[in-house]
Structure 1
Amino acid sequence: MSGDRLTGFTHDGLHFDVRDEGPADGPVVVLLHGFPQTSSSWDGVVPVLHEAGYRTVAPDQRGYSPGARPRGRSSYTLGKLVDDVVALVEQVGAGPVHLVGHDWGAAVAWSVASAHPEVVRTLTTVSVPHPQAFVRALRTPSQLAKSWYMGFFQLPWLPERAMSSPAVSRRMLGRIGMDRAAHERFRREIVQGGALHGGICWYRALPLENPRGLGRRVTVPTTFVWSDADGALGRTGAELTAEYVDAATYRFEVLEGVSHWIPEQEPRRLAEIVLDRVR
């Protein structure tokens, strides 16, 4: 802690870095980043939330915070990632929070809301559909083709070597819309910052999951944001998501012509969608 600000928290023997910004007495919005990024991916979103009176708490998650990089894929199962977020919410001590997640952060947010609805006031997920909807979408040729990298990431050491190459990572991430500035940030924060192995371990832990246990039905008020130019996640999973959310409080927002990297490419539009939900 630094004054009234949370600079980090400890859970499961690991120390996580946290960005705690905005009005200290405002309602809390917890922001979960995806792969291969850190809490800095929300830099364009948080000023809009702060202007509206909300406090934002954005952790660098397991594998990304320097003090939270355990070895071995079993340390990165979804249950452990969920428990990290629940521990953060308890540390903030502001009651149920507004939970927002992008990419892998969305997968974790879905699972937190379904397993621990008592800590979530509202849910906004970005890009990644409900886990059960995604599993069903993987049975289609189009989503299977988009998700080829998930199989590649199961290999030992080779994914780290490939993603550490500027040319290879620029090509792989550029195919799903990452621009040059974001790629430079990836090189600085993830590759040079030592977070690449931990981030890839989130994928390597997937074979340890029970597909039937990947998130139950979500009952908290929820908005799902998907973009139709997302090169990693297709429409099938996005549309199936409605089957796993309480229909009375669910909204599905489609951003046209936007790539996978919604928080960086359309931060104000995303922030306004989040505000519509939390209000």
Structure 2
Amino acid sequence: MWEASSPHWHHRYAVVNGMRLHWVEAGTGPLVVLLHGFPEFWYAWRHQIPALAKAGFRVIALDLRGYNESEKPVGIRRYRVETLADDVLAIIHALGQERCAVVGHDWGGAIAWYLAMRHPEAVENLIVLNAPHPERFFQELRTLAQLRKSWYVFFFQFPWLPERLFRAGDYARLGHLLRTEPVRRDAFTEADIRCYQEALAQPGALTAALNYYRALFTRNLLQLRRQIRPIHAPTLLIWGEQDRYLGVGLTQGLERWVPDIQIERIPEASHWVQADAPEHVNSLIIGFLRKRPHGMRRG
């Protein structure tokens, strides 16, 4: 099924934080955990897994809860970002590690930000791709420009209409956005798109993915803002500037919350930055991890 799979990639499962989770593993060396976004799954990192493994890292590409081969619990409250961050912490411990590098894109990036704030002892290095720091995002949501870009967050709050839209035409909407939104027109092959459509069509998967957004509104957003703390882990923020959903202004003014941050903007990349510019992204990630190894434990 997976066009980019390799016999050196191993599928693993474990019950952690009350959930049976799945991941793909490759390589040996310091641990790097990869967290995908909406509406992808571990396969979002198909270009990064072999590069990181070859560079001397033990790579874990996780299916977040609700996605692909991971368990899909029922109920919006079971997809709160704090719970998702605790899933990642439990995986790190299940792998016999206390600290590691964490890399996240989109929702995976949001989870990575919160993991670094809630459990700083577990994050040796933090790398985020096109996912805004939560404080900057809450600030920008007050502007008309970002509200227009984030309209889908509010649309996804409806209880059944988003599911109907995505399922129409055998998930044709998903195929359309993956064909048209990236800057590089072959960023997603037809085989890649079929993989995403099949994963999202699994029973319960689509509603679970949408529940990530719905869970944001199960409490006052002020409660989430109260959890925001400075992040002291060395941090790399990679940003595809042609993101239709998130303005490049979200990369500004982060030093207060992330004092040790390096920001790399890629003008020729979209929201799907690791598929649009895989070699550039791989070079940035590997270079950052080699430059900032600190006490990364070997796995």
Give 1:261 deviation, angstroms.
0.6
Q: 1:270 aligns with which of 250, 263, 281?
A: 281
Residue 17 (structure 2) pairs with residue 12 (structure 1): yes
Equivalences for 1:23-102 in 2 at 5 Å?
A: 23=28, 26-102=29-105
1:137–1:183 CA distance, 2 compared to 1 (3 A): farther
Partner of residue 213, structure 2:
203
Question: Normalising by the residue count of structure 2, what TM-score does the alignment of the two structures yield?
Answer: 0.85
Partner of residue 117, structure 1:
120
Contact 1:189 1:195 (8 Å CA) reproduced: yes
Give 1:272 deviation, angstroms.
1.3
Give 1:211 deviation, angstroms.
3.5
Q: Deviations over 1:52-104 (max 9, x none)?
A: 11110111011114452111101001111011000001011133101100000
Residue 255 (structure 2) pairs with residue 252 (structure 1): no
Give 1:237 deviation, angstroms.
1.5
In 1, Cα distance between the equivalents of 2:53 and 2:189?
27
Give 1:175 deviation, angstroms.
6.0
The letter for the 2-side match of 1:107 is: A
In 1, Cα distance between the equivalents of 2:54 and 2:18?
36
Contact 2:129 2:238 (8 Å CA) reproduced: yes
Other structure's SS at 2:64 match: coil
Give 1:173 deviation, angstroms.
5.3
Other structure's SS at 1:256 match: strand
The letter for the 2-side match of 1:245 is: V
Partner of residue 5, structure 2:
none
Equivalences for 1:149-168 in 2 at 5 Å?
A: 149-165=152-168, 166-168=171-173
Contact 1:131 1:214 (8 Å CA) reproduced: no
Contact 1:78 1:108 (8 Å CA) reproduced: yes
In 1, Cα distance between the equivalents of 2:177 and 2:51?
31
In 2, Cα distance between the equivalents of 1:184 and 1:65?
13
Question: Normalising by the residue count of structure 1, what TM-score does the alignment of the two structures yield?
Answer: 0.91
Other structure's SS at 1:86 match: helix
Partner of residue 229, structure 2:
216
Contact 2:68 2:199 (8 Å CA) reproduced: no
Other structure's SS at 2:67 match: coil
Q: Deviations over 1:22-47 (max 9, x none)?
A: 12xx0010000000000011011111
Contact 1:16 1:65 (8 Å CA) reproduced: no
Residue 26 (structure 2) pairs with residue 21 (structure 1): yes
- Runs of 4+ in structure 1 deviating by more than 6 angstroms, as ranges, are none
In 2, Cα distance between the equivalents of 1:97 and 1:62?
20
1:149–1:180 CA distance, 2 compared to 1 (3 A): farther
Residue 195 (structure 2) pairs with residue 185 (structure 1): yes
The letter for the 2-side match of 1:242 is: E
Give 1:174 deviation, angstroms.
5.4
In 1, Cα distance between the equivalents of 2:255 and 2:71?
34
Give 1:187 deviation, angstroms.
1.0
Partner of residue 4, structure 2:
none
Give 1:193 deviation, angstroms.
6.5
Partner of residue 240, structure 2:
227
Contact 1:109 1:123 (8 Å CA) reproduced: yes
Give 1:276 deviation, angstroms.
1.9
Other structure's SS at 2:21 match: strand
1:113–1:193 CA distance, 2 compared to 1 (3 A): same
Other structure's SS at 2:59 match: strand
